Structure 1
Amino acid sequence: MVGLYTPLLILQAICLYHAYRNRADQYWYWLIVLVPGIGCAFYLAHNFYNRNNIQRLQQGLNEVVNSNYRIEQLEKQVQFVDNVANKTLLADAYVAVGRLPEAIALYKDCLSGAFMADDPALRMKLMEAYYLHKAFDEVLALGRLLESEKTFKNSQARIAYAWSHHYTGQSEAAGVIFADLNRSFTNYDHRLAYCHFLRETGQREKLQELVRELMTEILQMSPQERRHHRSLSGNIRAFAKTTQNQDSGK
């Protein structure tokens, strides 16, 4: 019975949230709450008659249900075999759904053991969780321990390290790190983050130069490379267009 009710409760919550956001009539709330199965069906039919909209809603519902199911399975796995590998997988899943305090606690627990205390990969995972949790001082403390690690040099965690310098009033140090990450034909995530940093700190000429470089590199990519970087190149194009519009508006 619990397995039957859980998706229905999630669907009910989604419908109520949508009704609230879109200021639906009061009778929809009563219908969804009092007869959730029929009420949700009528509400969805009324508001999501378009097939694409229904598919998007179904995809969102599946993601919620599947992520919860996966976390439950990983939690059971940790209870059954309490080791670093299982706890790391669970912590990663917690980060993915925004349960950052729980993820941080698990990563720290993994690093407390004698064999994994200095593990760079775990430290970088903890860094990124701290960054998402806006614990910038903690990010900086871990980053200083990793500065000599080769795997840290071009990692995603180093983006968090650079931003944490900026958000703690050390923008000059952040700029040095971002500049070091700015390597042609690679590090596209890092360089897009650098673009955002340059815009945020008002370095217009450097920003324009970097955007031109990135757009030139995208045009020079092979079809296979473009497919591989499709999402990122789309973000770079969108950023370039926004920057161009801002410049033309001045």
Structure 2
Amino acid sequence: MLLYLTLAFQAFCIYHAIKNRKPYYWIFIILFLSVIGCVIYLVTQVYNKRDASIIQERVTNILVPTKKVKALEKQLEFLDTYQNKVNLADAYFEMKDFYKAIKLYEDAAKDENQNNYYIKAQLVMAHYQTGYYEAAIAYAKTLQEHSEFEKSKAQFTYGLALEKIGRLDAAEAQLKKIDQRYDNYEERLVLAQFFLEREKIEEGKDILIEISEESKHMTKMNKQKYRTTVNEVEKLLKTL
């Protein structure tokens, strides 16, 4: 187990170094000095007080997802409750084990005494990830009367599912709801690509230009978080 944790720690540090274009010698330091090299890299190249909690969360998510799931599995085995099912389903979802997440979410959704909006929203996204687009659409339709559904990720996923089955006009109506200034950068990039693929060049270009302009005013953390998205935006703009 310790070996796997060490390899995961190294993988995270190498990924971060490459993504942020750090000098290549850091990769060798991380590889040859193992955990010590990773700690040196984090302290000298990544760590500062403002980012500390975020770094800790990312490293923890890499190192202990299996441990977290095992603990939640035992908790559910000991006490079969609605909340324990949802907690374990969420953990599976985070690990992208969508089939197990779906099974638990659907089991929990049988409890009609609960407000199941959250579970059904998760099922929209989980079914989409597994390619069950009709199921994702069916769950989304049960949420349309909820105010939380408007401009949510579940609604955006609903639009993506509609696109997958060829209902393009309906898909566009849902996807456009997510188009908000200074927010939803990744989703808006997908929307721009949707327009471009449908030869709605001006609509797609307008969104790309907005994101490009907004990126100039991002905080340091957001610039790092959305670096890949902004780079893809700039790449697309050069082709138009």
Place the TM-score, normalised by the shorter chain, in its bin.
0.7 to 0.9
* Distance in 1 separating the partners of 2:35 and 2:7: 21
Partner residue of 1:88 out of 76, 86, 89? 86
1:106 matched to 2:104: yes
Bigger drift between 210-219 and 72-81 goes to 210-219
- Change beyond 3 A, Cα 1:162–1:76: same
Compute the TM-score of the two structures, normalised by the length of structure 1. Answer: 0.70
Aligned to 1:156: 153
Same amino acid, percent of matched pairs: 21
* Distance in 1 separating the partners of 2:195 and 2:120: 27
Aligned to 2:163: 166
1:183 matched to 2:176: no
Compute the TM-score of the two structures, normalised by the length of structure 2. Answer: 0.73
Compute the RMSD of aligned alpha carbons: 3.4
Confirm or deny: 8 A CA contact 1:128 1:139 kept in the other structure. yes
Aligned to 2:238: 245
Aligned to 2:32: 49
Instruction: Work out which of the two has the higher radius of gyration on C-alpha atoms and give 1 or 2.
Output: 1
Partner residue of 2:138 out of 124, 138, 141? 141
- Change beyond 3 A, Cα 1:205–1:50: farther
Bigger drift between 79-88 and 195-204 goes to 195-204
* Distance in 1 separating the partners of 2:125 and 2:238: 32
1:230 matched to 2:223: yes
* Distance in 1 separating the partners of 2:186 and 2:82: 29
* Distance in 2 separating the partners of 1:215 and 1:174: 24
1:129 matched to 2:112: no
* Distance in 2 separating the partners of 1:69 and 1:120: 28
* Distance in 1 separating the partners of 2:36 and 2:198: 39
* Distance in 2 separating the partners of 1:101 and 1:90: 12
1:7 matched to 2:2: yes
Q: CA deviation at 1:162?
A: 0.6
1:119 matched to 2:116: yes
| Structure 2 spans left out of the alignment, 5+ residues | 9-27, 40-55
Partner residue of 1:208 out of 201, 205, 210? 205
* Distance in 1 separating the partners of 2:164 and 2:239: 24
Q: CA deviation at 1:140?
A: 0.5
* Distance in 2 separating the partners of 1:121 and 1:12: 35
* Distance in 2 separating the partners of 1:202 and 1:133: 28
